[in-house]
Amino acid sequence: MKIEDVLKSEKKYHTYERVILNLVYNTILIENIEESIFGRFGLTRAQYNVVRILRGSKDTTLNLFDIQDRMLKKMSNTTRLVDKLVTLELVDRETNPDNRRKVEISITSKGLDLLEKIDPVLEIKHKERLQKLSEEEQNTLISLLEKMR
């Protein structure tokens, strides 16, 4: 479906406008799907992002700066996100006894277990979203988006 049809617009958009509108619209569709999934598991999108980052760090702890640096969508409330995840027992926070300003954060087994439940649901929804694109088209899209960045 063309973006003009989605927007019910008679306007003739420039190519650059159509690109941006399509990127924004598809991003919103994906975000809505993901937020619905994360909500079923008691998480927000931002909380999921933090837990995902900590899983990706393997056995290494991260500090708040490291987490913020790796977030897809940078946020100023990372401390509050981590506090909530500690309350949910999905992450641990340890203060360095030699330097109280140094706080190390790691994922708990409960956090890993939750991601194990979310992963297959997310995978199905992502595959559904991309099913109309061949693998070659998906790789082309990746290349174009990386080039754009």
- Would you write out the chain's pLDDT as a tens digit for each of its 149 residues? 888 888 888 888 999 999 999 999 999 999 999 999 999 999 999 999 999 999 999 888 999 989 999 998 887 788 899 999 999 999 999 987 887 778 899 999 999 999 999 999 999 999 999 999 999 999 999 999 999 99
Q: How far is CA 75 from CA 5, 24, 92, 93, in A?
A: 33, 19, 20, 19
Task: State the pLDDT at residue 42.
Answer: 95
In whole angstroms, give the CA distance from residue 32 to residue 29.
5
Q: Are 92 and 16 in contact (CB under 8 A)?
A: no
